[in-house]
Structure formats: C-alpha cells, structure tokens
Structure 1
Amino acid sequence: MGPREIAFQALLEIYGGRYPKGALWQTHGELFSTLSPRDRSLAIRIIKGVLEEDRILTQLLRSLTKEKATRLDKRVELLLKIGLYQIHFLQKIPPHAAVDETVAIGKKRISQRACGFVNWCLREAIRLKEAGSLHIEAEKTGPKAYPRWLISHLERVLGKQDTMAYLREEGLKDYLALRTNPMKISRDELQGILSHLGIWWEKGRLTPHAVIIKRKDLGLIKAPVLEKGLAQVQSEASQLAVLLLSPKPGECILDLCSGLGTKALYMAQLMENRGVIYCVDKDYKRLKVLLKESQRLGIKIIKPLVLDITKELTSIKINFSKILLDAPCSNLGALHRKPELKLHMHPKRIDALSKLQLEMLSAAKKLLAQNGMMLYTTCTISLEENQENIKRLLGMDRALDIMDLRDFDPIIPNHMVDPFGFGRMIPHVHRTDGFFYALIKNRERSSYDQDCAILTCRKLFEA
C-alpha cells in the first residue's frame, strides 16, 4: 500500500472509534514499515492534517455537495477529506496528482460508482479554488476548531489567555526529544554524532539527558542512533517523572501502567542495570514489545507482569519503597501531537478516567512500604484527573502525605510547581507535553509485612 492508502486505513480506524495507543507508527507498525521515510512522513502528515482540519474539511464538503457531509457514506466522506486536505493544505503536491491517487484508492477500497463522485467533487474543488469561489466560514469555536466543551474545560484550568496560546501553538509538533542512554553514551557524545550527520539539534532545557531534534529528521537517526540503543524518543516531561522518583542501583521498583516501558527503560539505565523493576500492564502485546526492547538493549532487570491493576494487584502481597503510577488519562497535555482527541474525548470520558485513576491509586497505595514514595503522573492538565484525584486519595487514607516538589529544586524548578506542591508542565510554556506530578509518601506500615527483596519478588512473579 502507498502512503495515501495507509493514511486512509489508519483514519478509518480512528474515525471508527479505535483510539491509537502510542504513536501512529507504533499502532500501525507493520503498515508504516513498508514505506520509505519520505512516504511515511507523507502518510503521517495526511493523517494528522485531516484530524486537525476536520471541521474545515467538513465545511468544504458541505459547500461542494450542497448537503451535510454526514449523509455521505463514511468511507467516501473520509476519502474526500483526504483529497481535499492535499488540495488545500499540501502546496507541494500537484492538485491533479492528489485527485488521481485518491480516486485510485476509491476504486480499490470502495466501488467504481463512488469513484465517479469522488473524482467530480475533487476536480470541482480545484476549479472553485482556482476561481477563488470556494469560501470557508471563519471558525467560531476557537483555534484549530476545537469543540466548545474542550475550550471551556481548558479555560477552567489555564485561564482564557493561556488556553488560546496553547491551542494556537504550532511549533511543538515539529520537534521531539531524544533521551540519551547513559549506559552507552553521554549527551555531549550524542550531540557530536548528530552534528556529524548534519542534523540540527539543541540541548534539552529540562533534563540532563535530553536532546531536541526536528521531527522530520527522525528517520535519519534510526540506524546510527536508535537501532544502536544510543538514545530513545521520550519527551522531557516524561523523563522528568523518572528523575523525580530518583531510582538507585539495587532498588526494587514497581512500575504500574508500564505500556511500552519508556520510563522503565530509563529507570533501568539510571540503576546501571542493577536491582529489579516490575512492569505491570494489562496489555500483553505492549509488555512483549517492552521485553523485546529491554533484551535488545541488554537490560536484564525488567520483569513484565500482565495484571489488571484495579482487580488483580492485591495478588502482590509485598512492599515497595518506590512506585511509579503513570495512569491512563485524557491526554489533554498532548493535543499538539494527538489531534484525534477532539474526535473521541468528551466530558463523560474524562469522568470515567478520573474514577479509574482513583481506583488505581487506591490499589497501589496498599503496596507502598512505610516511608515509601509513589509518584503519580498523567499527561493531562485536567483538574479532575490530577489535583482533585489526589485530594480524594488523601481523604481516604490519613497516613498519606504529599511531598512538596518545591523541595526538589533543581530537579524540577520551583516555577513548575504549584502552591500545593504539585508539579505541572504546560506545553506552550515549557515546550514539552503537558504533565502532572504528585509525589505521595506513606507514613505508616503497609498492608503487607513482607518487604520487597529481589529474590522474593523474582520467585513470586515467576511462580
């Protein structure tokens, strides 16, 4: 399949309600692996562009068809949006080439009859655009046409001015952060390699192992950097979470909701491959990817465990001095790279996530040793999922305290900590994903008497 057909396939799944876990090239890895770096870049640009400009493209469809776009067959509607996006937003693609390629997908994936309609609509769009007769109404709901409820939700947290600044932010999606593997290379050495390859870079501003590059250069560093295990893609906000937990060689750490294990791999490197990290997730496939990646990097201390945290965590009847809970969330701190959120996220979904997060916190605290620390993080800026959840947890268990992150300067500068001691990253201010950090300490004895010894844990999990 070509880049446009892969974009069509991915968008069919996203519009159909399948929410991609992680990056698009991870969720659809087999499809993207068949493309050249240039074609993969085009496919991702079409996918994200169609999602970002969904309302404008819907307006264009209504202008062309003289009826609501929702009356169209969903596959035809999507194909038209892909064609219109190329015609109106990708200036380097000749319009007639965009039409021909889009119609070819219709012949293969829909029907000959549908292709005639798609062909007419797109060629009419070109004619009207060249004549200056195709007008788009100004968006009334805010930057990039986000839903009204979402703008109101963000304004309650950030205020109107910062909400508008965040939603207007365009630059963040063009850059990404690399995290140096300190077991193999220093940041200065990585920067030297990037310079030798002719790749633009700048030193990370928030963490000691971060290097910022342009997203378009990711394909150029795959073989000389990523495949050799010299670095990994990880936002600075995510790196900071690991630094706040401060993993040390020889420790036994519980990583809940590990997913693909980006934070666990960083912890293992800081621990110099000594100790043990138990990575818990209910998604077997993601843990399998983590295990394969840890083996490739020569990391031997990661032990994956498939468990539903809210139902099965009580089977671990031992204490941990350090727990990381990176809970599933609304991802409202990553709108700049997850445009599909405005299709799938809604207030009821945020309420459901908030309840799930509190259940996870309640289950995890039972495994926290006396004077142990649990770091709760999300990549959202929603009050319901962050500050309000922590307040509910403290109301349920008086033995828990919040550690004031203002005492952790310079790991996290004081201007990134709110008056209650919680850490907050705001995308357009700190130039990274929006993140929330709460460090929780247990003053009393745990529910279980057995401390976390590496040998005991290994027997328990491998039994």
Structure 2
Amino acid sequence: MAGIMRDKLLVDLLSRTLYEVVERCLPVELAFKRACKLLKAKLGYGERELAYEKARSIVSDYMKLLCITGSKVRSYRELVRLWFNVESLKTPLPPYCQLSYNAWFYGRIVGLLGREEGEAMLRSLNRRNLWLRVNTLKASVESVLRDLEREGVDYEDDKHFYYMVKILSSPKPLRQLRIVKEFKAIIHDKASAAVVEVLKPEPEDVIIDVTAAPGIKTSLAMMLTENRARIVAADIDVKRLKVMKVLLRKYGVNTSRVELVAADSAYINIRNCNVKVMLDAPCSNTGAVGKDPSIKIHTSHSVVEYYSNIQRRLLENAVKLCNLIVYSTCSVMPEEGELVVKAVVDRCSGLKLVKALPWASPGYNVVVFRDKLMRLFPHIHGTEGFFIALILHR
C-alpha cells in the first residue's frame, strides 16, 4: 500500500508541476516547489531529488505529449500517465515532436543551421551542461579540484578558462557540494563566463554592468581583477539588487568598489567615456532550455520579438555611453543577437565589431559581418546557447 501511495503522490506532484508551468507560466524549479507546498508532500532528500528530475523530464517532453494526443483534450494527470509509457508507444511523429519543441522553434533553428546540425543542436539543448567556476577570491583552483575529487565528482578541466570546470557526473546536486555551499565554487555556465572574458576587465577599470542582477558576471569581473576594478552595477529591480549585494559579499567581492544603482538601463547617462559596458540583456532564454525546459513551452515568435525590441533600445543607449561594449544574450534566436546588432550598427555610425574568442562559432548567416560575431552552442562547446558581440567605436 505504501508503494501505491508513493506512486499516487508522484503522479499528483508531476501533474501539479505541469499545471503550474503551463497555466501559470512558472519556471520548472518554482513550479515544483509550489506543487510540493500545495500538496504538502513529505519527501526525503533522495525522493525529492528524484521527483524533481522527473518533473524536469515531463516538462521537457510536454510538446511531444501534445503531439501524441493530438486534438484530444487530456487532463494533466492523464498526460503524466501517458508520459510514463511514452517510450513504449510506436506513434510516428514529425521531427519537431520527437525533439519536443513547437513547430516554430524547430523550424527557426533548422532554417538557420540546416536539418542535421539544427536537430543536433536542439537535441543537445534539451540536456543540461553543468559547469562550476572556481571562485579564486575564496579558494585556489588546486584546493577546489581536490575537494571535488574527495566528494566523488567526475570533472574535466576547461582548456580556455583556468577557473572553469566541466562537471561530468556528481553523486549529489551541485548546490549540495561543500565547496558550493562555502562559495569557493559557483555554479556558472562557461558561456556566461565568456561574456566577461570578452570584456577583458583590468585592475582600475571602470565597468558598467547593465542589467546586473543577480551579479554572477559582476563577481567574475571582480575576481579577474583581484577586487581592483570599479563597477557600477545597474538594474531596474531594487529587490534583485538587494539580493545581489548579499551574494557579492558571500562571494568575497569588495563591495566598496561596487556601486549598485536602481535604474532603467535604457536611460542611463554616463559622462565619462573611458569605461567598459557589459550588457547581458534580458531575453527569451532559449539558450537555457536544458536548465529550464519550461522555456520551450512558452517561447514564440511574439515573445522573441518582444525581447528584441527591449534589446535594441538597451544597446542603442549603451553605444552612446562609452567606447567598448560587450553585448550578450542567452538566446539561440538571431532576432536577439545578430539582428539587434545590425539594427544598431545601421543606425549608429563609427562602430567596429571584433571577434574576441577565436574558438567561438561565428554568428548566423543572416548578416554580412557574421564572422565578427560570436556564438556558443551546446552541441559544439558544451555550454548554454549564447550570443556575444564586442562593439568598439572606431
């Protein structure tokens, strides 16, 4: 009877999580936490982790389930039961359904990369790549690697950034590792770290981190300069800035050299042009599907266009602030990368693009200057999908 009750609880948890994701547009992690709270689920640590991984999987497979059911209206509970048996079904499905993306998302990527590479990218995007960044403000690379070995973590040193570690397997979630709890290592994707590397922060640099919260990139810039840069970290969300300040202190950042500013970055005005601007713009997050598969469910052309308009406004203001700007988005859509840069370059004369990472892929073939842009892909670089552009004034 106990086993049956646990099975019923799992079905209840998964169906409620799916409801929260689809109907309330919540990210998977938040939807799962809400489901546990609403159902008053009492789970042991191992049970909770297992249930969460199943929740991530069913959300990732949601579009496939819709393809299988067709026009039939199914409850979320019925979809969960169907999902448990989905591997045994022999229903022929088109490629976008097999990969569990909507037709627009699939068609956009395959149209850009071709069917073979496009499907390889989408397949890889479904899986989460795990990275740790050694926080050298609190520990040495050598000591962190020794700790990883002691905790039974299988890892791979990164060949580009000495402080990045690719996690191949771990006996426990990364957030539960002692070095992560002690902030000696930070869960940070390599593609996101690459944005800061393109900026090339130096001691005594003045850096404006536009849309800075939650502060992961700010902390890396301070780490690379041994706490000797000066950073103006701007964000429109005051609550996120307060959380950011606490996190920076935990990361070992000298917060006396970081000024937090609550402001809409589309209207920031800086008189000193001898600064560097890092603009990691708000986006559709289509490059982070592996981390949060709910993104696949809610992404559409209109969502991408919504963010594209915001990004153009932010970048147009950023190029007026200083002579060096790094623009980035965690998106695999050209509307949030190449086409944003093209719109700004066309409107603002005297701008120069530089490919700062020789190992990065070029931009999509939708602009003539694609070779001067940078893209990181999950199927090539083992990272989230990212777009990066280094923009200079001539």
Q: Which category of TM-score, normalised to the shorter sequence, fits these structures?
A: 0.7 to 0.9
- 1:13 corresponds to 2:17: no
What displacement does 1:341 show?
2.2
Say whether residues 1:383 and 2:383 are aligned partners: no
Deviations, residues 383-431 of structure 1 (Å, cap 9, x unaligned): 22211211111111113221x21xx4xxx23453455311111211111
**Structure-1 residue corresponding to 2:115:** 160
Alignment of 1:25-104 (within 5 A): 28=33, 36-58=44-66, 68-69=72-73, 77-86=75-84
Structural mapping, 1:140-155, within 5 Å: 140-142=94-96, 143-155=98-110
- Give the whole-Å Cα distance in 2 for the aligned partners of 1:286 and 1:31: 25
SS in 2 for 1:323: strand
Cα deviation 1:46-97 (Å, max 9, x = unaligned): 32212222244346667xxxx712xx5xxxx2233334434657xxxxxxxx
Q: Give the Å deviation of 1:349.
A: 1.6
Match of 1:451 in 2: none
Please report how far the alpha carbon of residue 247 of structure 1 lies from its aligned counterpart in structure 2 after TM superposition.
Answer: 1.1
8 Å Cα contact 2:135-2:184 kept in structure 1: yes
- Per-residue CA deviation, residues 210-261 of structure 1 (Å, 9 max, x unaligned), is 1122465453663520121111001111111111101122222111122311
Counterpart of 1:254 in 2: which secondary structure? strand
Q: What CA deviation, in whole Å up to 9, does each residue of 1:321-372 have, x standing for no partner?
A: 111001122223233333222211111221222111101101222221xxx3
Note closer, same or farther for the CA distance 1:7–1:267 as it changes in structure 2 (3 Å cut): farther
| Higher RCO by CA contacts (8 Å cutoff, separation 6 or greater) | 2
- CA distance 1:236–1:304, shift in 2 (3 Å): same
| 1:435 maps to 2:393 | no
- In structure 2, relative to structure 1, the CA distance for the partners of 1:346 and 1:56 (3 Å cut) is closer
2:292 is equivalent to residue 338 of structure 1: yes
> Aligned in 2, Cα 1:155/1:86: closer, same or farther, shift over 3 Å?
closer
For 1:275-295, what per-residue CA distance to the aligned partner results, in whole angstroms no more than 9, with x for missing partners?
A: 322222222332222111112
SS class of match (1:272): coil
Extract unaligned runs of 5+ from structure 2.
Answer: 1-8, 364-369
Report the counterpart of residue 395 of structure 1 in structure 2.
Answer: 346
Find 1:305's aligned residue among 239, 261, 273.
261
Q: CA 1:5–1:268 in 2, change beyond 3 Å: closer, same or farther?
A: farther
Kindly name which structure, 1 or 2, has the bigger radius of gyration based on alpha carbons: 1
What is the match of residue 450 of structure 1?
A: none
Per the normalisation by structure 2, the TM-score is 0.84
Amino acid in structure 1 at the alignment position of 2:346: G
Write the letter of the residue equivalent to 2:180: L
Counterpart Cα distance in 1 of 2:285 and 2:237: 19
* Alpha carbons 1:157, 1:382 under 8 Å: kept: no
- Structure 1: gaps (5+ residues): 90-128, 130-134, 444-463
SS in 2 for 1:145: coil
1:341-360 correspondence runs (5 A): 341-360=295-314
Deviation of the 1:373 alpha carbon: 0.8
Query: Matches of 2:92 and 2:135 in 1, distance apart?
Result: 47
Aligned counterparts of 2:172 and 2:262: Cα–Cα separation in 1: 31
Distance in structure 1 (CA, Å) of the matches to 2:188 and 2:202: 20
Provide TM-score, normalisation by structure 1.
0.72
Partner of 1:24: 29
Distance 1:307 1:44, change over 3 A: farther
Q: Residue type of the partner of 2:19?
A: L
Match of 2:358 among 407, 413, 432: 413
Match of 1:276 in 2: 230
Taking only aligned residues, the RMSD between alpha carbons, in angstroms, comes to: 3.1
| Aligned CA distance change for structure 1 residues 168 and 353 (closer, same or farther; 3 Å) | same
In the TM superposition, what are the counterparts of 1:109-148 in structure 2 within 5 Å? 135-142=89-96, 143-148=98-103
- Separation of aligned partners in 1, 2:258 and 2:80: 42
Aligned-partner residue type, residue 210 of structure 2: L
